[in-house]
Amino acid sequence: MATANSRVQCFVCNKEKNTYNCKGCSNEFCFQHLTEHRQKIETQLEEIINDHDQFQQTIIQQKQSPPNSSLIQQINQWETNSIHQIQQTAEECRKTLIKVTQKLIDGVEKKFIELSQKLKEIREENEFNELDLNSFQLKLTQITKEFLQSANISIRQDSQEFIKKISVISLFDSYQSNHSTTSTATIPKNQISTQSSIKPQRIQTKKNQFQQFAITVAGGNGYGQELNQLNYPSGMFIDNDKSIYIADYYNHRIIKWKLNSYEGQIIAGGNGKGNQNNQLDSPINIIFDKKNNSLIISDWGNRRVIRYFGENQTNQQILISNVNFGGITIDKNGFIYVSDRENNEVRRWKQGDGKGELVAAGNGKGNHLNQLNFPTKIFIDEDYSLYISDWENHRVMKWKKGAKEGRIVAGGNGKGNSFKQLSCPNGVIVDHLGQIYVADTGNHRVMRWCEGDEEGEVVVGGDGNGTRSNRLNSPYNLSFDNEENLYVADSGNHRIQKYEKL
């Protein structure tokens, strides 16, 4: 409750009036501004009540629906894959056993027929003695032993694991419990073999696997502008020394974080938000131009792309102006590609271009194969095929060089968290095997898709947002180092996470 005081300056209008003291904020207000202040507080209360009611509804829905349906799907997929692998190995071993047994029987039968023919001949001729009989007896004994060897075929079970082990891990926060609960399901490896030289083949996979608990290699000290902090990192690349160059979005700077360093070094911007030579405004992407040994930065707030070059990356050159871009990439010839979120298209630029060349979409906003809806990050491969994160369409498009329309290579089944869906995809990269990695921002996970597959798989994250080392919060961009370790710009947690390749 507010109490009336004699004439004092009002906190809002700075006029001396009869004022009332607010015990909540200890400020003095005239009657008019006290009323407005009270209305503002009441509005805040209504917002809290609304958030409370929404969360209550979420709890009710979670209780009524199957728990962690996406995780259940992962378990079901593991079960299906494991059963398929067991059935395939069993079928291969059955075929091997039949082939080996038949080969042995055929060999014995051939020798037995030859022996039978000779016995028949000497009996008809009536020309034999004790030596002949001993010889025939010895041959019959040898053939019998060979035939009985078929009974010596055995099944060997290896001690190593054949089916990958899965676990359900629940890590409770300290205010709930000081224990972690793990439930593990394992199928031991049964490598079935025979004594013959024919062995069943195992199912091989070329997919990279990664540690599920990441190492924080930059930031991770809360959001802020100190050298050991980041504020919503949105773009990055890793050089051969494993130094990380980071577009530090809300700090309006580019910061370089050397391997095993506790803090970074500002190499561009960092002088507040602005458009001067020593300033940036919300940088969203950063790439390295090998051909010109320079950094290229998407200065989003200033609607421009800038090149920084020189020994300390201090010289600046504006390459592209007046573009509302979502992502940039560069091909092996040094051409720069920019996704335009206003015009829903991608253009290729070379130095001196005034507008750039249209290379993808440009047919208005939409979800047809020749359209995009708010394109964000992009990637180009060695064949000049573009991979575009189509944010509002919740899909990734592949646009081959010269094509009039693209192809959906990830998502495209509406917004959601199933293995067939994405939610507001951002960073996209492709490894040397052509496998597509997507920062599934809205689902707080990184997905991997093989072109042509109907659904993808979770690579890291996917257990909801959080700050633990096995969780992500709005992952925004992806990169590999020269050892194929995976780096994730964990923007909501203001850090860069490194997932080591197994």
* CA within 13 Å, CB half, 427: 31
Name the strand (E) or helix (H) holding 317: strand 315-321
Distance CA(445)–CA(474), nearest Å, equals 8
The DSSP letter of residue 152 is G
**CA distance linking residue 131 with residue 137, whole number of Å:** 10
Instruction: Decide: helix, strand or coil at residue 199.
Output: coil
Binned at pLDDT 50, 70 and 90, residue 67 comes out as low
Task: State the Cα–Cα distance between residues 279 and 297, nearest whole angstrom.
Answer: 12
Residue 375, burial from CB neighbour count under 10 angstroms (0-12, 13-18, 19+): buried
pLDDT higher than 60, residue 171:
no
> Coil, strand or helix: which one is 216?
strand
Name the more confident of 374 and 141.
Answer: 374
Quickly state the pLDDT bin for 165 (edges 50, 70, 90): low
Mean pLDDT check: name the lowest of 71-80, 259-268, 283-292.
71-80
Q: What φ, ψ does residue 7 adopt, rounded to 5°? A: -60, 120
pTM: 0.61
CATH for 210-501 is 2.120.10.30
CA distance linking residue 207 with residue 450, whole number of Å: 10
Residue 415 identity: K
Residue-wise pLDDT for 90-128, tens only, equals 888 888 888 878 887 887 788 888 888 887 877 777 776
Alpha-helical (H) ranges within 2-129 are 31-64, 69-125
Token reading at 299? 């200065």
Higher pLDDT, 425 or 43: 425
Strand ranges (E), 333-465: 336-340, 345-349, 357-361, 375-380, 386-390, 395-399, 407-411, 425-430, 436-440, 445-449, 457-461
In the chain, domain spans = 7-64, 81-150, 210-501
pLDDT of residue 191: 38
Range in 208-212, 227-231, 254-258, 322-326 with the lowest mean pLDDT? 322-326
Given a contact cutoff of 8 angstroms between Cβ atoms, the answer to whether 48 and 29 are in contact is: no
Give the total residue count for the chain: 502
Reply yes or no on whether the pLDDT at 476 is more than 50: yes
